[in-house]
Amino acid sequence: MTPEIISDRELHKLLSIYDVYKQERIEDENPFLALLALIEQGREEYALEERICQPGEVIVREHAAGDNFYIIRSGQTVVIKGDIQNQTILGFRSIGESIGEMALLENLPRSATVIALDVVSLWHFNRDAFYRFVRENPSFSLNLMNMLSGRIRKSEEERMRGYAREMKQVVALETLSRQATHDPLTGLFNRRYLDQILYGEIAHAMQSDSMVGILMADVDLFKEINDRHGHKAGDVMLQSLGKLMKNSVRSADVVCRYGGEEFVIVMPGVSEATMNRCAEDIRSRFEESRVVFENHELRATISIGAAIYPLHGSSVDEVFIHADRAMYQAKKHGRNRVVVFSPQGT
């Protein structure tokens, strides 16, 4: 009968997981080698057959008849549940460990698939030889029970390690997600996140007949700060402004670093008066603030442009452009001020 062998790609994937397992595995005393020694002593009397499996060969298949019992003489195997392409790894077995004992003892089909990871040598028992060996070797039964107990304990350890790996993956995914939507310097949302939520906020405002305010802020003469004190001083200034903005807005508002020294604040459901008060509060507080960098006290001002949907535009792009124009009007008229968009001012 031609042995079933998985693809090189699937074998490589399983070997990669086994490499991680080897690094995490905690070795302890176990009865496996004692079990193997008992069988080695009785191999001629019981006419045991040796089976050699090649890397990737399926030793036993899930749901197949459980009529055979194996003890691993050498090599490494993996135990999986489900299809090869979409499997769940239950564990790994090596020298002295058994394959197929539960299906044989319970007279049930195989509950998992076992695959050779490298060249594997096995002692093979059929059902009759297995039960005869158990009857005539009481110590074998004891060793087998100890082995099964150890396997249950190890499975629990594997489960806990698997849980720990899953938690690491969750943390890694959360970190990646945060990196994708947050500015690393200020901790604020970034332009990508702004693009994701702005259209949704305007769509919600259309449905609920409410307003959305947009503030665009730019640090005045920021290049001079960088040129005079260095880019690290500029970074500290931006961090300070980001924190001030975050502490000045409502919990529903979204503060983003748009790029460079530009910031955008999206204010869902805001009234025009509230938006104006918030913008003026941010402007005045930043004007009064001081940033200490390398024994130098730095100060700066910001210019803010404001526009509100639907008063200043019927679409996201229109309102955003009008807020940007209002900001440049603030720059044009002397900086350090808030300008609300007005068609007459463009």
pLDDT at 224: 93
List the 88-93 sheet strands across, edge first: 58-60, 113-116, 77-81, 88-93
pLDDT at 295: 86
pLDDT at 67: 84
pLDDT at 242: 96
Question: If 0-12 CB within 10 Å is exposed, 13-18 middle and 19+ buried, where does residue 225 land?
Answer: buried
pLDDT at 214: 97
- Say which residue the tokens 């001083």 belong to: 233
CA-CA-CA-CA torsion sign (147, 153, 158, 161):
negative
pLDDT at 26: 47
Phi, psi of 307 (to 5 degrees): -145, 155
Distance CA 51, CA 70 (A): 9
Assess whether 272 carries a catalytic annotation: no
pLDDT at 128: 82
Domains and CATH numbers, the chain: 8-175 (2.60.120.10), 191-345 (3.30.70.270)
pLDDT at 29: 44
Question: Average pLDDT by consecutive 10-residue portion of the chain (346 residues)?
Answer: 87 82 53 65 74 94 88 91 83 85 78 93 84 72 62 58 63 70 93 89 89 96 93 95 95 94 96 95 96 90 96 93 96 96 77
Distance CA 10, CA 16 (A): 10
Catalytic residue among 106, 261, 262, 272: 261
Gyration radius of the chain over CA positions: 35
Question: If 0-12 CB within 10 Å is exposed, 13-18 middle and 19+ buried, where does residue 124 land?
Answer: middle
Q: Give the predicted TM-score (pTM) of the model.
A: 0.55
pLDDT at 152: 57
